[in-house]
Amino acid sequence: MNNKIHIMSENLANKIAAGEVIERVSSVVKELVENSIDAKSNSIRIELIDSGIKSLTVIDDGIGMNKSDALLAFSRHATSKLLKDDDLFFINTLGFRGEALPSIASVSKVKLKTSTGSVGTEIIIHGGKLISQIDSDARIGTSFEVTDLFYNTPARLKYLKSDTTELSNIVMYVEKLALTHPEIKFKLINNNKEIISTSGSNNLLKTIYEIYGYLVSSNMIKISASNEDYDIDGYICKPSILKSNRNHMTTIVNGRIVRNVELNKAINDGYYTYKPDIKYPIVVLNISTDPTIIDVNIHPTKQDIKFSKQIELNELVTKAIKDALYKSMLIPKIEVKETSSNNEINILKEDVKEYVVNKEINVLNDEQVKFDFKKVTNEVDDNTDTNTLLKKNESIKKLELYVCGLVMGTYIICENETNMYLIDQHAAQERINYERYLEHLTNTKVNTTSLLIPITIELSPSDYIKFIERKEILDNMGFVIEEFGINTILIKEHPTWLLRGFEQESIEKLVDLVINDYNVDRIKFNDSIAKTLACKMSVKGNTRITNDDMQSIINELVLCDNPYNCPHGRPTIITFTKYELEKMFKRVMN
C-alpha cells in the first residue's frame, strides 16, 4: 500500500523553516549575533566578505558550548532557553525557538568553533549535512562562519539584492543592536574595512555618538517615565535633526529590538506640531515590562510584538516625549565648519535644510502694499486677556529678543546679547493663531455675532446630505445655520473669533472640512480647523510689516505653548551664535 502522506526529511523541513527565518544576509547576522548576546558576550565581532554574500563570521567571547551541545544546537527545535511550557510566558532571551542554526546550516556551508574553556570543538556542515567534528583550540567563546549562503537554493540566492543593499541592511541592524546593548563592544568589518565600532561603555549617549556622530548626539534629549506596567527611558532627538524615514526609530522591549506600528505612531504623536508629517525623529527608546504582558512569539524573526496593554503604553510614550520637548530649548543653531581643502566657511547644508522653508522669495517692489497687521490681530474679544489664551514658555521668554528688521519680506531679524535670530513671520504668527483658535474651540463659553446679511452657501446634493447629517458640529461651535432652498444653507450667526473680513471664506472652509475631513475624534477635528484658520489669518511671506508689528509677533510667540514650530511642524525660529558669526567673518580663526 502506497501512502500519499509521509514525514518530510529533517533537511527539507529545515530548508522550509529557513524561508521564514533566513530572508537575507542580515537575517543570518541577526540570528548569530543574538545568540552571542544570549551567551553573555562582552565583545562581538562581525566580519563580512562581499557584504556577507560570500562569507560572514561572527566571533564572540561568550560562555561557549561543549562538544555535545555544539552538535545538538544544529538539531531542529533544540534550545537551552525554554525547558517547560510555562517558560513561553517568561521569555528573557532573544532566541528561544531553536530554528535559527539548523535553518542557516541547511542553506549554506558553516564552520562552528566553540569552547567553554577546556578543549574546543570544530563542526563543519554543508547544506545541512555533517562533514566533520573535531577538537579545536580552547579560546572561550564561539566563532560561527557562514559561506556560500543559499548555494543550494538558487531561487533564494537570486532573491538577494546588490552587495550595497545587503550591506546597508546589515549595518542598519547592527547599529540598532549596538544602541540596544551599549554595554557590549560591537565591531563590524566588510572586506577588511571597519564600518561600525562601539566601545561597550554602557553609556547610551556615548553609543549614540559612536553610531550617529556629534551633531546627532549633541541634539538628543533624555526621557524617562513610568506607569503601573511599563518603565521607559532613552533619548529622542530635537526636531532639528529629523530624517526622511522611520529607520532611525529604535524601539526596544526587554532588550529586544521590536517593530510595532502602534508604538511608532505613539512616538510620532509625541512630536505632533514639532515636525512635518513627512519627517521622522531619531529615537532610542527602552521599554521594560513584565514578560507576561507581551507576546514575542508572533513571527519566527521575533521582531513583531503584541502588548496586552497597548493603549497605556502609547499614552505613556506620547506624554513622555511631549513633556521632554516642551521643557527643552528647541531653537536650532546654524553651525559653520571649515573645509579641509581651502579653509573656506560653509554653512552645514544638512542642518539648514531642516529649518528653513524651501521656497522662492522675491524682494518686494514699490507697488506692493503693507500688510494690515492690526486687522488680523484684533480677533480676541475686547474683554479677553491675550495672555490667558497663550501659555507661557519661560525658557524662550528669557531670551529677550529685540527686533532689528525684516529681510525678503519674510524673515524677522532679532538679537540679544549673545545671538542673532531669524523668525519666519508667517510660521510664527501661524503658531500664535493656531493656539488661540484651539483655545476658542475648546472653550465652553462661545461669543457669537449676528450677520446683517446672512451668508448663503450652495452645495451639491451629495455634499448637502453629508453636511446636514454633520451640521451639529458647527451648531456646537456657535454657528446658527438654517436650510435655505434646494441644497443651500444660510449662515445667520457665527463665533466672534472668525477672521474679520474673511468670514465667508472661513465659513466655506469649515463647511468643506465638515463634509470631507470629518473625523469622529472631536480633538483632531478641532485641530484641523485651528490649523486651517490659523494659516488663513497669518501674515504671509514676502509681505512688509512694521517693526512694532514684528515685535508684537515676537512677544506673543514666546508666550506660546510650543513657540518653536508652526502647526505643520516647520520651524518658526533659528539662531546664529555670536561666535559662529565671527567665525564666518574671520574675526575668530579657531
- Integer CA distances (angstroms), 486 to 458, 473, 482, 515, in order: 8, 21, 12, 17
What average pLDDT values come out for the chain (590 residues) when binned by 10 residues?
Answer: 55 48 82 89 94 92 87 66 44 53 85 88 89 86 90 71 84 92 94 92 93 88 92 92 86 87 91 85 91 66 70 93 84 57 36 33 33 43 43 65 87 87 90 87 80 86 83 85 87 82 80 72 76 80 84 87 86 86 78
Strand 411-415 to strand 419-424: parallel, antiparallel, or no bridges (unpaired)?
A: antiparallel
The predicted model scores a pTM of 0.67
By C-alpha distance, which of 226, 325, 238, 151 is closest to 575?
238
- What is the rounded radius of gyration, in angstroms, for the C-alpha atoms of the chain? 31
Q: Domain 10-201, what architecture?
A: 2-Layer Sandwich (3.30)
By C-alpha distance, which of 94, 320, 350 is closest to 216?
350
By C-alpha distance, which of 192, 67, 65, 228 is closest to 132?
67
CA–CA dist 387, 456 (Å, integer): 35
The whole-angstrom distance between residue 130's C-alpha and the CA centroid of its chain comes to: 45
At residue 380, the pLDDT reads 39
At residue 520, the pLDDT reads 54
Please report, for the chain, how many H helices and E strands are present, in that order: 21, 24
CATH for the stretch 219-327: 3.30.230.10
Q: Is 578 helix (H, G, I), strand (E, B) or coil?
A: helix
Q: Is 500 helix (H, G, I), strand (E, B) or coil?
A: coil
**Domain map (residue ranges) of the chain:** 10-201, 219-327, 346-447+496-590
Q: Domain 346-447+496-590, what architecture?
A: 2-Layer Sandwich (3.30)
